[in-house]
Amino acid sequence: MIYYDRSVIYHTSIDTTNISKTADYKFSLMDKVVDEVSEENIVQAVTNNEVSFKAVDHLFMEKRAFVLVSLCST
């Protein structure tokens, strides 16, 4: 989901039922979306508060220093 100009836009979904959800895999999915949307159009990425996402956030911030990554608080 992408929030833009006071609207929410559905971007994509991926069925990961039979895929191991490692930090590297999750990072590759996030990174691909940033490439598709273009980094200069992103201000913040919000992720799940799951333990593996903490590693994803670290990897993501190393590569995409200008994008703020926040863990969901609810």
Q: What is the pLDDT of residues 8-64, one digit of tens each?
A: 888 888 888 988 888 888 889 888 988 998 888 887 888 777 777 778 888 888 888
Whole-model pTM: value is 0.72
**In this structure, are residues 45 and 39 in contact, taking their beta carbons and an 8 Å threshold?**
no
> Is residue 12 a part of any domain in this protein?
no
Asked whether the predicted pLDDT for residue 69 surpasses 80, the reply is no
Domain containing 65 equals 20-71
| pLDDT score at 74 | 58
What is the total count of domains within the chain?
1
Calculate the CA dihedral of residues 67, 24, 48, 41 and round it to 10 degrees.
30
> Is residue 1 a part of any domain in this protein?
no
